[in-house]
Chains A and B, each alone.
Chain A
Amino acid sequence: MRMMLMICAALLATPATAQQFAEGSEAAEWGLLGEEKARFEADVVDLLCRVAGDCPADCGAGRRQLGLLRVADGVLVLPLKNGQPLFSGAATDLAPYCGQRVTVDGLLIGDPDQTPVKYYMVQAVRPAGSDGWAKTERFTEVWAERNPDRADKSGEWYRHDPRVEGQIAAQGYLGRGTAEEAEYLKGLVGE
């Protein structure tokens, strides 16, 4: 009996492998480190609440990082990226689903030589049991709402973000001050 319980404990403590979640995935390939397609059901959770018991309403109303508590094995998956091309995380796209069970489709990533776990890129999400997939493209829409005076400018959002502009103005492109980098930039990009 003792051996059986030990086997049970070992089985229960073993997260599912990434390959188990590839079935049915229609995620786009990105050629990332350790990339594996993965579609799974999960509960959208506030990470601060889940790990530390600090639980405001609405998962912090978009302020916090969100996790995906995978139904199949109970693993708390950390999404790093939404499905948009550049520099946008997943929390803004997942926030409307706070506390809900969803199905997500995307990519598990991470080189096993660098990290013992896989992180996630969410490319699409839908409420569990529904047919209506939503691509995870909400970030730029929300950014435009927050920055109406910048939203009409041509080019990517990050080139017009006022907070990024402020940081570069204060610390420079290299982050060590505009005076220190001036000579370097002249040599790199010309006068």
Chain B
Amino acid sequence: MRFLALLGIPLAAPALAAEPQRIQVTGEAIDTWCYFSGVMGGADAVVGTAHHTCALWCAAGGIPVGLLAEDGTVYMVLRIGADDHANGGDTLLTVASHTLTADGILHVRDGINYLLVDEVVEDAGVTRLSHLDYDFVPPFAAPQKVE
């Protein structure tokens, strides 16, 4: 490291950024905290119908929403169309757990995929029937009584 200082090169590196590119990706709008932290269980349990109520809570609470593609790649959504309200905004709340096909610009920064969605090409609704395997995740997301 000493010779870097001698060369006058700062030790703090600039962040790694790739050129932005237009992509179209299909994936589920997930709650990224539960997905990556494991706080509510394994990855298969925190997607789809079983986790839908929790995904609503997390989207309303400002947990970043990601698109989980079939290959396991997660794209962090920073805006949808002109709506940049990614911290608990209505648009992301209404698509929680939905399988979306999104067209937009991908920015990769320090290994994280950030997606600026220009258009939701298709909204297939909630397609993953995970409640058949897991019921509600977490269990306290189940309604207390049937209305």
Contact = CB atoms under 8 A, between A and B. Distances in A.
A60 B84 contact: yes
A75 interface: yes
Interface stretch (A19-27, A48-56, A96-104): A48-56
B38 interface: yes
A87 B63 contact: yes
B96 interface: yes
Contacts of B39: 30, 32
A139 B13 contact: no
B67 interface: no
Contacts, number: 198
How many residues of B sit at the interface, in one of the four size bands?
35 or more
Given A14-B13, A64-B87, A78-B76, A189 B143 contact: yes
Given A30-B39, A81-B37, A175-B97, A74 B13 contact: yes
B36 A168 contact: no
Given A32-B37, A62-B87, A111-B36, 15 more contacts: A8-B4, A8-B9, A63-B85, A65-B64, A78-B76, A78-B112, A81-B63, A86-B57, A87-B60, A89-B88, A111-B38, A139-B61, A163-B93, A167-B94, A188-B142
Interface of B: 1, 3-4, 7, 9, 12-17, 20, 32-33, 36-39, 43, 49-50, 52-54, 56-58, 60-64, 72, 74, 76, 78-79, 84-90, 93-94, 96-98, 105, 107, 109-112, 114, 116, 125-126, 131, 135-136, 141-146
